[in-house]
Structure 1
Amino acid sequence: MPTHPEHAPSYLESRTPSAGTEPPRAAFASDAPALDLDGDWRFRLAPTAAGGPGAFEREDHDDSAWDTLPVPAHWQLHGYGAPAYTNIAYPFPIDPPHVPDDNPTGEYRRAFDLPESWPEGPAVLRFEGVDSCYAVWLNGHELGHATGSRLPSEFEVGALLRPGRNVLAVRVHQWSAASYLEDQDMWWLSGIFRGVRLLACPDRGVRDLEVRASYDHTSGTGVLRVDTETPGLVTVPELGLVDAATGTDHEVGPVEPWSAEVPRLYDGELVTPGERVPLRVGFRTVEVSGGLLRVNGRPLLLRGVNRHEWDPDRGRAVTWETMREDVLLMKRHNVNAVRTSHYPPHPDFLDLCDELGLWVVDECDLETHGFEDVGWRNNPSDDPLWHDAFLDRMARTVERDKNHPSVILWSLGNESGGGRNLRAMAEWTRRRDPGRPVHYEGAADPAYTDLYSRMYATHEEVAAIGRRSGLPEGDPGLVDRPFVMVEYAHAMGTGPGGLEEYQRLVEAHPHVQGGFVWEWIDHGIRRREDDGTEWFAYGGDFGEVVHDANFVADGLLMPDRTPGPGLAALAKTFEPLRLVPDPENGTVAVTNTWQVLDTAGLELRWDLREEGEPVAGGVLAAKPVGPGETAVLPLPDLPEPSAAGRETWLTVSAHLAGDLPWAEAGHEVAWGQARVDRPRADGSGSDRITPSQPVTHHRPGATERELGYHPQRTPSAQYPPLATEGDTVTVGPAEFDARTGRALSVAGLPLAALELDVWRAPTDNDQARHGESVEVPWRRAGLDRMTHRVLSVEREDAALRVRTRVAAANSDIGLLADYTWTGDAEALVLDLAVEAVGDWPCPLPRVGVRLELPPELGEVDWFGRGPGEAYRDVAQAARVGRFTSSVDGLQTPYLRPQENGNRLGTRRLDLRSPEGRGLRVEGAPEFDFTVRRWSTAALDRARHPHELRPEDRIHLHLDAAHQGIGSASCGPGVLPQHRLTPGTHRLRLVLRPLA
């Protein structure tokens, strides 16, 4: 039976962060004895904070009937209780410091044998992370309790250890007063989720150490200082430093500075009479000067992401392999910075950032966002009773991570309002570590922060901030400080749109020093059906009363770390090199935006293709281009393009010339394209010209038509007369209903539909949970339930003209669609004109036609832009070429099904059966396409991808245009140039049979 809540431990609702713990210190390894206590522990779950029956902490407690649970792990992911997701809302009443009586409490026991060689004397038991509050006993003796879920705590245990068997008992509570400080946007998950170790503390050993390694960019020298409580000697062989005393500045050099681009580490060792500690030293100096954030004297350009720790099976109990995979993926996608939202990561992650090279904003384990829902009343950030808890969290963050060269900024936390406790954290941090600036996004006072940062500022606001003028009302007077977009471009579902436009602002205004896209990975939890089907759960899938649905799925990666289309777009936007081919002048401009590196480690390749087929290629001979420099390099003589107006494209790309720790030789870093040919005005032959803007730098989604060329793809206007037999009209290779003008078949393929369509399954950014929704006016206007009325069917000698009105019930707005069908034995030509009528309150989702085709046409081949998904404002990663896939392979399985898989700028599309029969679609000049085995209505209804069932037909959409994507799920909507305004639209297509 549950114990009455009055028997709950008194510390549970105490604002005091801990009792019995040791002062915080750096994370480091040494030659001192250590015992890893990870593995299977005995476990039981009780419904209240009083725990289960019996004195579980006693050595002789019988736990033989208990279950086992791995450590590290979250108990909810092993069948005990259920995960719950909220973004802002607390899942319990806001009544600080009180928590519910129903308080799931896990009791853990671990027996271990102390090695015979274990030394006598002091030792500590170190917990790297326990959520949310816990008490500890060793051999029946209470050690204390601690909070701060994502921060380490240590307990002195030397006097309690004994040879042979020892028993460790830990009681972990899901809810505590500390839960009010841990309202981060993530799953509520409990347990011992990071490692547990027993560490010997040798006499005259290293209790703590601080490594300060500054760099003077004017002289190239460094100053190394290592401080310890016990005097010791420092050796760094590469620097000629041997047995140098601790507590003293040692000038060394010249040294190679540490940076994210060149993460130079010097291996060394600290030796005291009782302990030896390996050191990895990176020399660098961080400062804010001249209104800019600088490292080693040079302004930074942060190409960053926000990263939660996540694994779809393990939650936040991430492994070293998972952490390394994250860093490698970031480096390979041109990311150079990470904000550890919204807590300090596992210390191994920072080791990897030191080694492989990422700038890090290290964030304290603090967020009180739920108080916003009650007008910030009783917010702990301004309550002096919480002062010690706030400072404790900041101190433990700084002390643990102070020796990492990758950490360049301390962040006080996230979305915790304002108040005296945050100011005290900032003041303490500046005193403790003056070598790193302090960040807090929610700062209402410059005393809180050394930077000006904003979440989800619009492009207009960023431009105003970049000009240091015209700032929006209410900004806190930080305009003279470096501006960083601490969160922007919300990567939820399809998108994010607008990345390129943000990056152009960053490059145009030195004061705007980049930012961090939200966020790195979808936090889906893997589920398996009885039939083996796997899918990823989000908020509400575990019966939560209060939840934020799929808002937890807002990353550039799928939960299993499959890169999403948004990551490809981000990699293109973040390219460190800008490559602008100019075939007409026989050159390519190379702009190097790296801070430190030149291009000596890269190989520049050129590749010429005609209609996607290789023509020629090679390697460019080039001298290195220095950081911040632009060089114009000669291209080789290119072969003359063929006649007949076949498109020929030149691609210039930069690849790693040799292996690096984060990628192998040949990895592509950057690319640019330009069209070499242009058809003459009469359509005969081609001229060698370059478009007015290279493809790499045009606005995302711009078509070659907008860049000034007009391919002649429509067949001759001399078509044979229509053939009418009974109720059927034959136009080229197609049959139509003579009365309604409805297409019955094309190229011998039966059609269930071929009609105007303007609806798309709304994306997360269309829905705009925290922005301005376009889905609401779309549905209000009935765009998801349009009906078609035939106005006229006219047969001329060579053309079938069908006019329809497309509108929704209870609406007086609509679309007039004029179809003109012509053709010959080889081709059916569609010229579709669409005109919006009435007072439209919203943009259109899309404009095009939908076809329903036989299901066997599952093989896809196209010439256009690809290979991945792209929309007009998420188009930067799509290059012109020829690509193949399958209908199934063109889908993007976002955790909540929505519009996806669009390919834009398509000139030619082939859909084939395995036997080769099928349909070719040609654009005049181009079109967008999506192709699926389910309808848009089914896509709109589904809550998870595994709920989508293949139908007995293929749904093909051929579009003149799409509404852009934006990032209004939590940020700005679609930019004006990417909106699909009602008006007049034209789509010209040619459909041909494939045999």
Structure 2
Amino acid sequence: MNGLDPHAYVEDLSPGTGRLRPRAAFTTDLPTITLDGDWSFRLASGLDDLTGDFAAPDFDDTAWDLLAVPSCWQMTGLPGEPRYGAPAYTNILYPFPVDPPRVPRENPTGEYRRAFDVPDGFPASAAVLRFEGVDSAFAVWLNGIRLGDGKGSRLTTEFDASAALRPGRNVLAVRVHQWSSGSYLEDQDMWWLSGIFRSVSVAARGVEDFFVHTAYDHTTRQGTLAVDVTAPTRVSLSVPELGISAADPAGPHVIDGIEPWSDERPRLYTGELVSEAGERIPLRIGFRTVAVVDGVLTVNGRPISLRGVNRHEWHPLTGRTLTEDTMLTDVLLMKQHNINAVRTSHYPPDHRFLDLCDEHGLWVFCEGDLETHGFEPGGWRRNPSDDPAWREAYLDRTARLVERDKNHPSVVVWSLGNESGTGVNLAAAAAWIRWRDDSRLIHYEGDFASCAYVDLYSRMYIGVDELAAVDRGQEAPTADPADDAHRRALPAVLCEYGHAMGTGPGGLSEYQQVIEAHPRLAGGFIWEWIDHGITRTAPINGQEEPRSYYAYGGDFGEEIHDGNFVADGLLFPDRTPSPGLVEYKKVIEPVRIHIDPAAGQISVRNLHHVRDSGYLDCRWTVEDGGEPVGSGGLSVPATAAGATTTLAWPAEVTAALDAARKNDSGDQVWLTVTAVLAADETWAGAGHEIAWGQGLVVAPAASPAPAPPAPAIAHGGYVALGPARFDARTGVLTRLGDLELDGPMLDVWRAPIDNDLLSAFGEAQIGPWLAAGLDRMRHDVLGVEPDASGLTVTARLAAAGSSCGLGVVYRWTACDTPDAAGRTRLRLDAVVTPDGPWSVPLPRLGVAMSLPGTDAEVEWFGPGPGEAYRDSRAAARVGRHLSTVSAMQIPQVRPQENGNRHQVRRARITTPDGTLLISGDPVIDLTVRPWSTEALTAASHQHDLVRDGTLHLHLDHAHHGLGSAACGPGPTAPHVLAAVTTAFGVEFGTGR
């Protein structure tokens, strides 16, 4: 550090001064003084605005504000106006000029002070001051004595406090800088936030460190245990369950009959380290061996398949400051949705999160606090990863990652960091890890071209075809044959895929099918776990009560930002599961249930790593038109991991099906089999659903011959057709029975989803759509022709300035006599014919209509209960579902197309004015909204959406697929909605 400048550490490449060597995170019975709580706080504008004597013990800080520690200072004041600066979001670009290691002189700096008491008898001579996380650089004074400084925001830093700590009153002063040289290593696609955001404590230090080494031999069921201990006195090890008592920790101890640790059976043995000085340290020991065997990722001798997510730490009110309850919520939700793996993107999490992963069972890719993505736009010029001057900073971050988290059995892979290019410092970090811990694998996606210093071939956002080629060893060759051979021998993982931004992602089933078919593919991690929305409130349309919404990039006046790209999670910011998470749960279910109606059989395929299916109870249900006609338990033998059990339908199922056939309702009869927890687990209660399967066992009989058609009769300004009234000039349906209607008319536009608006690999879909004028199509009526058997309306849909269009013929018919229920049905058959050279797919193809109302009850028979689209429909099961229009709206952080119910057979929409009946021929997609597509398209946040007194219905033949184009591939070919001649039909009715 430059002695002439006391703040040189801010831009110095050194990771810090005065710090103690990193060590494991652990608990002990030695005393600890927590310093969490309210601290005196002042925010300085930069290095020219600092308080010169703020570290003096007698400095008067009574005029300063109080700020909670831990917290991020930019989040203070929310959900109203931020009190100290404001959050800022960028994905790649640094929010300051790229001139490493320099940062702006206007560098917001938080000055913190905390007075605390040290009780008599506290062992001050062996005390350390521990910071679990400070963003981004900080310096520390205790009782006016400078202890040191540090960087590495999401890593633990400890200082020797023994010389400065004293009994009674003590004063801790900390100066935290928003920007530092370390900021160049922390460009991790998240909100830029600052402060002491994790806990602070003073702890007595006895045992300095320890490293629990375990291994498991699956052929002998023997476990090996050795603990390396660094301590000033002798330490003994006891693990009563293993018969180890007051033993030498170093062992090695070889134990027969070990139950290994895995995500499915997270077996932890309780142990203890005891020092001669009397210190007691609890241990939770898990035995497991991680290895690559013939290019396959294995744990304990068996292949594993990662059904994972990337997890940032986030809370919409506190930012990256999380309580243990919030962390537990994350873990439980993951387990409840069949997720078995976490990549801690892109930094080590709060260490308590890893405790929960150990306890409940999640494979962890523990990632270093490193990303230099902001150098990519400049061609990686001056990238620290390949600059030897940054070597110490890289090795420091690597060591602090490994040392802190080395004793967690859940951690099976060390990840060097993310999107930091390649270079000598990454290679050095990998070499250091191999020297320190050879029991785990090393991951880093940025070196996928050669994989020279990693153990996994990692890719992100590749398509399913390329993914399949990877398993076949057909990825593009590298320049170095040795690197090429090394890479092709490695397991492959998708460290990021299925970008969960907005409505979507689509195509997850296709990825999973490829993953399960190819042994080299070890699975992957969806990007990402949670939307990083920030809770805000704002007055709406003069209302006294402000409405809450979630802010994203640009909402705080950032100079540069990446908009709602920060809202790309499977959870909404309040941790409500999105439809994407519900879909992912179904796609990755560890048990596959298949129903074969032709053979009268049910098969159960167990995709677990080691666990047999005996922990599940299976039940069956038979439904006729969505009405249950029989249910019961299903006895399925415990199926071993990797095996399949096939059994014939039990007699009770056959009896229920026979009864349904005799009933001859003319409706579909479905058999559903579910698998639920038979007993409580640590992460869910008995009865929690794990998997399900469905089969159509009775198809409806052929429709009876239609009744004689009713004539369409012109009456001046309207045309009457059975119970319907049409505008004589436009051909628009205006009334059906007592219901006032408007439409339906051909519609091809949807409020663009994020995957329409953005593209990581080429032009976004929105560009061609707007160029084709699909958002401004005009519906021109060419003819309205009533006749003796119905009404024909001819029209053309086209945009101003375009010679291309869509011709449409609406053929309306109605029965002359009511059906058995006393209802007269109105039928629409539409034929759409492209006119001109259509080179772009359509967003949607169907008809739109409306009726008065602000809400309605919606009942439908078809897939549900949640939204589904053509490439995101695995989680929707056929049945009778009931909801409201309000409940069918999906609260995406940025409003967009949502809420579609896919392949609906029939629906009932009930308003105070009456009931509208809808039937597909045989199916139709249904969306009902209290606002128009135009309003949805224009809205930037949920609070922009205001009910307009009309219910807007969309009855679609098809949608363009969702895909994952915002950061990945678009929809695959089967899910592209081409403009081709298309015919579809739908029936309408009123009444019950």
What is the CA–CA distance in structure 1 between the aligned matches of 2:477 and 2:516, rounded to whole Å? 21
1:836-985 paired onto structure 2 within 5 Å: 836-855=834-853, 858-914=856-912, 917-985=914-982
1:710-749 paired onto structure 2 within 5 Å: 716=706, 718-749=708-739
Cα offset, 1:107, TM superposition: 0.3
What is the CA–CA distance in structure 2 between the aligned matches of 1:288 and 1:160, rounded to whole Å? 50
What is the CA–CA distance in structure 1 between the aligned matches of 2:604 and 2:476, rounded to whole Å? 35
Cα offset, 1:446, TM superposition: 2.8
Whether the 8 Å contact between 1:225 and 1:246 is mirrored in structure 2 is: yes
1:592-991 paired onto structure 2 within 5 Å: 592-637=606-651, 638=654, 639=656, 640=658, 641=660, 642-680=663-701, 682-683=702-703, 716=706, 718-772=708-762, 773-824=764-815, 826-855=824-853, 858-914=856-912, 917-991=914-988
Deviates more, 1:227-236 or 1:294-303: 227-236
* SS of the residue 2:699 aligns to: strand
Deviates more, 1:147-156 or 1:478-487: 478-487
Alignment of 1:97 onto 2:106: no
Whether the 8 Å contact between 1:122 and 1:159 is mirrored in structure 2 is: no
* Deviation by residue 1:640-663 (Cα, 9 ceiling, x = unmatched): 223142111110010000000000
Given the superposition, is the C-alpha separation of residues 823 and 283 from structure 1 closer, same or farther in structure 2, using an over 3 Å criterion? Answer: same
Alignment of 1:319 onto 2:317: no
* Structure 2 equivalent of residue 235 of structure 1: 238
* SS of the residue 1:807 aligns to: strand
Alignment of 1:175 onto 2:179: yes
* Deviation by residue 1:689-725 (Cα, 9 ceiling, x = unmatched): xxxxxxxxxxxxxxxxxxxxxxxxxx71521222322
What is the CA–CA distance in structure 2 between the aligned matches of 1:50 and 1:650, rounded to whole Å? 73
* Deviation by residue 1:309-356 (Cα, 9 ceiling, x = unmatched): 000001000110000000000000000000000000000000000000
What is the CA–CA distance in structure 2 between the aligned matches of 1:837 and 1:876, rounded to whole Å? 35
What is the CA–CA distance in structure 2 between the aligned matches of 1:818 and 1:953, rounded to whole Å? 26
Alignment of 1:464 onto 2:464: no
Given the superposition, is the C-alpha separation of residues 342 and 951 from structure 1 closer, same or farther in structure 2, using an over 3 Å criterion? Answer: same
What is the CA–CA distance in structure 2 between the aligned matches of 1:987 and 1:474, rounded to whole Å? 54
Whether the 8 Å contact between 2:732 and 2:742 is mirrored in structure 1 is: no
* Structure 2 equivalent of residue 696 of structure 1: none
* Structure 2 equivalent of residue 401 of structure 1: 405
* SS of the residue 2:330 aligns to: helix
What is the CA–CA distance in structure 2 between the aligned matches of 1:51 and 1:338, rounded to whole Å? 42
What is the CA–CA distance in structure 2 between the aligned matches of 1:774 and 1:659, rounded to whole Å? 47
* Structure 2 equivalent of residue 45 of structure 1: 43
Cα offset, 1:914, TM superposition: 4.5
Cα offset, 1:49, TM superposition: 2.6
Cα offset, 1:474, TM superposition: 8.2
Percent sequence identity over matched residues?
Answer: 55
Cα offset, 1:770, TM superposition: 2.0
CA RMSD of aligned residues (A): 1.5
What is the CA–CA distance in structure 2 between the aligned matches of 1:10 and 1:630, rounded to whole Å? 65
Deviates more, 1:281-290 or 1:733-742: 733-742
What is the CA–CA distance in structure 2 between the aligned matches of 1:138 and 1:406, rounded to whole Å? 37
1:522-533 paired onto structure 2 within 5 Å: 522-529=531-538, 531-533=545-547
What is the CA–CA distance in structure 2 between the aligned matches of 1:811 and 1:726, rounded to whole Å? 35
Alignment of 1:452 onto 2:477: no
Whether the 8 Å contact between 1:870 and 1:901 is mirrored in structure 2 is: yes
What is the CA–CA distance in structure 2 between the aligned matches of 1:539 and 1:7, rounded to whole Å? 35
- Letter in structure 2 aligned against 1:301: S
Deviates more, 1:396-405 or 1:285-294: 285-294
Cα offset, 1:792, TM superposition: 2.0
* SS of the residue 1:600 aligns to: helix
What is the CA–CA distance in structure 1 between the aligned matches of 2:128 and 2:463, rounded to whole Å? 50
- Letter in structure 1 aligned against 2:585: A
Which blocks of at least 5 consecutive residues in structure 1 are unaligned?
1-5, 685-714
* Structure 1 equivalent of residue 594 of structure 2: 580
What is the CA–CA distance in structure 2 between the aligned matches of 1:723 and 1:8, rounded to whole Å? 92
What is the CA–CA distance in structure 1 between the aligned matches of 2:978 and 2:56, rounded to whole Å? 72
What is the CA–CA distance in structure 1 between the aligned matches of 2:5 and 2:299, rounded to whole Å? 54
* Structure 2 equivalent of residue 261 of structure 1: 264
What is the CA–CA distance in structure 2 between the aligned matches of 1:811 and 1:213, rounded to whole Å? 70
* Deviation by residue 1:89-120 (Cα, 9 ceiling, x = unmatched): 00000000000011000000000000123124
Alignment of 1:271 onto 2:274: yes
Cα offset, 1:470, TM superposition: 5.1
What is the CA–CA distance in structure 2 between the aligned matches of 1:483 and 1:223, rounded to whole Å? 29
What is the CA–CA distance in structure 2 between the aligned matches of 1:860 and 1:61, rounded to whole Å? 66
* Structure 1 equivalent of residue 566 of structure 2: 552
* SS of the residue 1:446 aligns to: coil
* Structure 2 equivalent of residue 281 of structure 1: 285
* TM-score normalised according to structure 2 size: 0.95
Cα offset, 1:875, TM superposition: 0.4
Alignment of 1:495 onto 2:504: yes
Cα offset, 1:50, TM superposition: 4.5
Alignment of 1:60 onto 2:58: yes
- Letter in structure 2 aligned against 1:661: T
* TM-score normalised according to structure 1 size: 0.95
Cα offset, 1:528, TM superposition: 1.8
What is the CA–CA distance in structure 1 between the aligned matches of 2:41 and 2:5, rounded to whole Å? 21
1:185 equivalent among 186, 189, 192: 189
Whether the 8 Å contact between 1:461 and 1:472 is mirrored in structure 2 is: no
1:111 equivalent among 109, 115, 120: 115
Whether the 8 Å contact between 2:761 and 2:968 is mirrored in structure 1 is: yes
What is the CA–CA distance in structure 1 between the aligned matches of 2:124 and 2:511, rounded to whole Å? 60
- Letter in structure 2 aligned against 1:493: G
What is the CA–CA distance in structure 2 between the aligned matches of 1:212 and 1:250, rounded to whole Å? 10
Alignment of 1:571 onto 2:585: yes
What is the CA–CA distance in structure 2 between the aligned matches of 1:179 and 1:604, rounded to whole Å? 52
Deviates more, 1:790-799 or 1:775-784: 790-799
Whether the 8 Å contact between 1:733 and 1:993 is mirrored in structure 2 is: no
* Structure 2 equivalent of residue 70 of structure 1: 68
Cα offset, 1:753, TM superposition: 3.3
Cα offset, 1:756, TM superposition: 0.4
Deviates more, 1:813-822 or 1:228-237: 228-237
1:34 equivalent among 32, 35, 38: 32
What is the CA–CA distance in structure 1 between the aligned matches of 2:712 and 2:840, rounded to whole Å? 40
Which blocks of at least 5 consecutive residues in structure 2 are unaligned?
77-82, 540-544, 819-823
- Letter in structure 2 aligned against 1:601: Y
* Structure 2 equivalent of residue 215 of structure 1: 216
- Letter in structure 2 aligned against 1:755: M
What is the CA–CA distance in structure 1 between the aligned matches of 2:219 and 2:492, rounded to whole Å? 26
What is the CA–CA distance in structure 2 between the aligned matches of 1:453 and 1:856, rounded to whole Å? 49
Cα offset, 1:857, TM superposition: 5.5
What is the CA–CA distance in structure 1 between the aligned matches of 2:159 and 2:614, rounded to whole Å? 51
What is the CA–CA distance in structure 2 between the aligned matches of 1:612 and 1:754, rounded to whole Å? 27
- Letter in structure 1 aligned against 2:580: G
- Letter in structure 1 aligned against 2:964: S
Deviates more, 1:119-128 or 1:852-861: 852-861
Given the superposition, is the C-alpha separation of residues 930 and 603 from structure 1 closer, same or farther in structure 2, using an over 3 Å criterion? Answer: same
